[in-house]
Amino acid sequence: MLEIIRRTVQEVNSAPDLQHALSVIVRRGREIICADVCTVYLTEQETGEHVLRATEGLAADSVGHVRFGLYEGLVGLVSERAEPVNLDDAPSHPRYRYISETGEQRFHGFLGVPIIQHRKVLGVLVVRQQESRRFDEAEVTLLVTLAAQLAGAIAHADISGGIVVEDQQHQPISRIIRGRPGAPGVAVGTLVVAYERAHLDEVPDAAVADIDVEVAHFEKVVAGVRVELQEMKDRFDPSLKEERVLFDAYLMMLDGDSLVEGTITRIQTGNWASGALRDTIQEHATMFESMEDSYLRERSSDIRDLGRRILLRLQSGSPRARVFPENTILVGEDLTATHLAEVPGDRLVGVISAKGSTASHVAILSKALGLPAVMGVADLPVRHLEGKEVIIDGYRGQVYLSPSKVVRNQFERLATEEAELSKSLGELRDAPAVTTDGQKMPMYINAGLLADISPSLESGAEGVGLYRTEIPFMIRESFPGEDSQVKIYRQVLEAFSPRPVVIRSLDIGGDKMLPYFPIHEENPFLGWRGIRVTLDHPEIFITQLRAMLKASVGLSNLHVMLPMVTSVDEVDEAMILLHRAYEELLDEGEKVTFPKLGVMIEVPSAVYQADLLARRVDFLSIGTNDLTQYLLAVDRNNAAVADLYDSLHPAMVRAVLQVTAAAQEVGTPVGVCGELAGDPLGAILLVAMGVDSLSMSSGSLSRVKKTICGFSRVEANGLLEEALKQEDPESIRELLRTAMEEKGLGGLVRAGI
């Protein structure tokens, strides 16, 4: 039974489109459970109906025509309960509805299970038996398993257009895909897929201008691969028969009609060679994977290997210059800074990532660049999205795919308003952030590259609240030496002098790895990272501390900050090493001065020791990104739990308040350098808590400054009191949004207000 399920799952996952996946499910479901009928109903939320989309055992012409209301019939009952319904005599149930147009007889046995994806019912999978029959537990479990596999295929098809839903005027309804807000703003543009070139499964669809040229190019590539394989075979001694047989198999596949001709046929339908090859290889691999014989099943890996060989030659033999439309919105499974850098700056208007959350690095970068971004868009069929028109709303974390004219016009108006808002915010560049009752808030920026210096200075920042030193380490092939580090830190310190610059010591581990210093752990976020690494490697730490101190000679604006501190012992050890570096440089004749030392509060243990830490150092800085992650036990880069990651969670508000109160009690300044500082809503609460400074990406500076200037400290205190009474993040967020709207500042946190 397990083997049958495995093969069924493979067939569903490799189906070229939704209808094929549905056909596999109803055919396999009927066979495995030995039922008379197996059917799939898909739920159309827009029309409020369950529609028969595939059947094995009922009249084929009823597909697409038989419809139940959302809560009508037994199908509606399954959807309403969101759990299996198992009946031995369905007609006797009060919710039973007989459908004559399906050609069915009076079926008695009924088993229906919901098809659920991310708590949403997408449809209902049903098996029927003519005689009375209550399906056993194993059969129920099996049908639930099949429904779970079908859920992903339905979600993909819904997003990519495989499910066509029309309004009353027969116009396609715009699809709204929900993710997480990554960076504020709205944008209208054309999707361009970012993908890893060497990965066959990640190749997107793309149209070709000249089919004959594309076919000729593919045939030339295949000929080259054939020569390459023959040469590889000839390198083996004739006595190594098994090794040579593998290459014979590859050559036979290339000489056969199905693989090459199948790809050419797909090219002739308009897909480029790489996309056509992807589908052909998938088809052949799936065929082998479904075979009973274990040896033949293993040959699927040979098919995929041959496909990769052809793909690499396709890509290297004729590298395509990517075409970026005027309003490019970049989309990918897991976007990186490199992907963003590939797009000309004057053409990139927005970002969508299937993975990640509000605190992901690409979201932070998007904010710095002023690009609206939507993160954590689960089940995004990235490879089918190339060239599609799209609208993104970075405030709500929503994507509108193939928008209607009405929706497009509305968002074009909002985009115009956004541009006007950005222009007006730019006028605040040199103005201080002061509440209406005179409370000034220093505004710093977060940086990590020398290229950040110029835009940061132009943004009106009063200093650097966080300089991430790991980035210069990550872009090298070995640890940078002392002199190299001195040059980097000196440029930052000089550029902002006499304004303060907080330089964080090396913070690697977690999702920040050095290629020349690999850390292999099952759970890297709870492993060897931050201060733990540098204390274990004092030779790295002292070199960095010496470089910071030497870079600050003649200046007085260096602040050193320690990351991922979990205990006072770590601070004591780090202090000893800092003093050693300082004494060494004095002995060498360097005119260094001892810097101010601070600690990042980003793990729960540091929250509860904030008073002890505040007595040992010159300042505290709350890193709300990691603190949210650790306090809520949510991986901030995991789209499956992205909805749970929220820096305005009541627990986070209380934790930040506890830290600020502890610091204030001993007279130690406390700042916030996480994404909460760059959120206008969060800034209101931080003002009320008495935070001494805020540090954020330069793209968020003007929005937060405008917010602070719109409230009094007394008003902020009142909102904090109300926020502490709330029991969930959305209630806190709605409280603050309402306050913003009443001040005429709603446009800073919501589109079109």
Q: Which two tokens stand for residue 193?
A: 């897929």
- Rounded CA-CA distance 157/40 in Å is 15
Beta bridge partners of 399: 177, 392
In the structure encoding, which two tokens stand for residue 376, read together? 């954590």
User: How far is Cα 36 from Cα 542, in angstroms, rounded to an integer?
Assistant: 75
Helix (H) or strand (E) holding 224: helix 211-235
| Residue carrying the six token digits 């996480």 | 674
CB 116 within 8 A of CB 67: no
Instruction: Find the Cα–Cα–Cα–Cα dihedral 430, 436, 441, 447, rounded to 10°.
Output: -50
The beta-strand segments (E) located in 577-640 are 596-601, 619-622
Mind giving me the DSSP string for 52-115?
Answer: EEEEESS-GGGTTT-EEETT-HHHHHHHHHTS-EEES-GGGSTT----GGGT-----EEEEEEE
* Residue 673 a catalytic site member: yes
N-terminal to C-terminal alpha carbon distance within the chain? 57
Supply 571's token pair: 């601070």
Nearest to 377 by CA among 581, 156, 163: 156
Structure tokens given for 340: 């963003």
- Please check whether residue 25 is in contact with residue 54, taking contact to mean a CB–CB distance below 8 angstroms: yes
- Whether 34 is a known active-site residue: answer no
Q: Is 444 helix (H, G, I), strand (E, B) or coil?
A: strand
**Tokens encoding 123:** 């449809």
CB 676 within 8 A of CB 704: no
Please give the structure tokens belonging to residue 98: 């007989």
Catalytic residue among 361, 520, 579, 649: 361
Q: Please report, for residues 496, 539, 618, the alpha-carbon distance to residue 593 in angstroms, rounded to integers and kept in the order given.
A: 18, 21, 15
423: Cβ contacts below 8 Å, ≥ 6 apart: none
| Contact of 578 with 548, CB cutoff 8 Å | no
How many other C-beta atoms are found inside a 10 Å radius of the C-beta of residue 19?
Answer: 15
Residues with a known catalytic role: 361, 673
